[in-house]
Amino acid sequence: MGASGKKLQGHGTRKKLNSPPAQTKDGGHGLPPHPLALRSGQRFTPRTGARRRPFQVLRVDRLRGRVQARRIDGQREPVSASAAGLLRTRSDGQGRYVQFVGFDARRYETFATVVAIDGEGAATLVLPEWHPRRPVPLPARLLPPEARVPGAWLRCTADLSMGRAGWLNVADLRRCEDPGPERCHRPELELAAAAAPMARPDSGRGCGDIVLALPESGLERFPRCDGLLELYLADRPAGLGPCDRVYLERDGRIAAHLVVRTRTPRPYGDLVACEPEPVALSRELTVASSPARGTWRWRWWSRELEEAAAEELTAALAAYDPERHDPEAWRWAVG
């Protein structure tokens, strides 16, 4: 008795080449809703009739209420259909007489809305015409400045035929008013609630302040831009942000610190911009000197102890333990 699929190419063996391409409904998001308006390039499949072959819209005659289309397969015969019939929907939001399949491979003018912007400079958009429940990640710096807030609407161009968000190639973003539900489906993306930020430790890893071992040339080694002094930290100091401190250590002594203004991610580290003038401490701190100049480590004492009795401060400064306070003890800071 012969095996199943023996007459098929490759004897029915599963191959990635035979798998269907990525679709907008993938990932458990379900089918997108039926279009609100007919556009050239949209594809449909009839639900009724003897010939249920897919067709693609070529031209929409809005005066006559007719649509000129052609079959996608076979001899690509021309098709004429009623625009009202193609737009009619069922109770579940899908087409009454036709099933919407997708778009032709081309760029379309469409709407997008900003759903969220996180603290790391990433934005989450939704293109309702593509799918109202699928997130589209995009760097927030690509958005117009006036649209970098959740709820903002934009006009843009994208290849709506793509099955993955990363292939849409969203571009030409421009701020606009809400087009309204009659022109654009409402976004239905539900983002998971953001986790409550963890409390910043009083000292050690992630406390926000770092200790920089100054090179021989001091701060002259580091460049300045727009009136700020720039430090390139080759290892990313997670938690370092505006108003934090960069303590300046030379030969085991700390007499001043810099005030951080911004921290910008770069491909191989973080660019930290600080006020150019060091702020003097109320008292000089004596610490274990760094074995290599130009490296940094986390502050291992509490800020409050800088104003405490000398004995308490001395004990805290002497209690530095690389294994406990800073598992990766020395990190490079490049000017």
CATH number of the structural domain 108-176: 2.40.50
Q: Do 103 and 41 touch, CB atoms closer than 8 A?
A: yes
Cβ burial, residue 78 (10 Å; 0-12/13-18/19+):
exposed
The span from the CA of 213 to the CA of 8, in Å, is 70
Q: What's the pLDDT score for residue 248?
A: 94
Better-predicted residue by pLDDT, 306 or 335: 306
| Domain 18-103, CATH class in plain words | mainly beta
* 129 vs 217, residue with greater confidence: 129
Is there a common fold for 18-103 and 108-176?
no
* pLDDT at residue 48 tops 50: yes
The answer on pLDDT for 41 being more than 80 is yes
Going by pLDDT thresholds of 50, 70 and 90, the confidence category of residue 113 is very high
So where are the chain's domains?
Answer: 18-103, 108-176, 210-334
**Mean pLDDT for the stretch of residues 92-105:** 93
Asked if pLDDT for residue 263 goes beyond 50, the answer is yes
- Between CA 42 and CA 53 the distance in angstroms is 14
pLDDT value, residue 196: 56
Share of the chain above pLDDT 70, in %: 87
The size of the chain, in residues, is 335
Each residue's pLDDT tens digit, 132-153: 999 999 998 899 988 989 999 9
Cβ 189 vs Cβ 132: under 8 Å: yes
Tokens of 312: 């308490």
pTM for the predicted model, two decimal places: 0.57
For the segment 263-278, the average pLDDT, to the nearest whole number, is 87
What is the rounded distance in angstroms from the CA atom of residue 48 to the CA atom of residue 38? Answer: 20
Which pLDDT belongs to residue 328? 53
